[in-house]
């Protein structure tokens, strides 16, 4: 069974940093692109970033480009999202998602950016 477990969310002040992690299990991690999506409170779904199987290609939404960095450790079946220069509008539940077609989603981790 596929499991995606996010961690690392919390409360941070504007301008601060957080690092989200996603532990994957139940499938061959190196076979899939991996993505982060987010959902602001009461709002719709938004794609944030994705990364190719070997980490050689990364794509970012314009809203986070230059501030967020996506990486993966295939030896640890893990995905990471380093978030710097956080803004109030980055407040959201962040989901770790398998593959571009978004077949499987984690339970999400809440990031709150507030002073």
Partner 1 sequence: DVVMTQSPLSLPVTLGQPASISCRSSQSLVDSDGNTYLNWFHQRPGQSPRRLIYKVSNRDSGVPERFSGSGSGTDFTLKISRVEAEDVGVYYCMQPTLWPPITFGQGTRLEIK
The residues of the shown chain that bind partner 1, judged by CB under 8 A, are 35, 44-47, 50, 59-62, 95, 100-108
Min. distance of Cβ 13 from partner 1 in angstroms? 27
Nearest distance in Å: CB 103, partner 1 = 6
Q: How far is the CB of 53 from partner 1 (least distance, A)?
A: 16
Please identify, using beta-carbon distances, which residue of 82 and 110 lies nearer to partner 1.
110
Burial of 5 (0-12, 13-18, 19+ CB in 10 A): middle
């Amino acid at each position: 069974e596929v499991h995606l477990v996010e961690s690392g969310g919390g409360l941070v002040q504007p301008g601060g940093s957080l690092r989200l992690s996603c532990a994957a299990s139940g499938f061959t991690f190196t076979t899939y692109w991996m993505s982060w999506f987010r959902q602001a409170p009461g709002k719709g779904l938004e794609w944030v970033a994705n990364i190719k199987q070997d980490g050689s290609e990364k794509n970012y939404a314009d809203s986070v480009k230059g501030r967020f960095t996506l990486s993966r450790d295939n030896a640890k079946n893990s995905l990471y999202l380093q978030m710097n220069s956080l803004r109030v509008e980055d407040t959201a539940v962040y989901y770790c998602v398998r593959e571009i077609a978004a077949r499987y989603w984690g339970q999400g981790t809440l990031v709150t950016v507030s002073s």
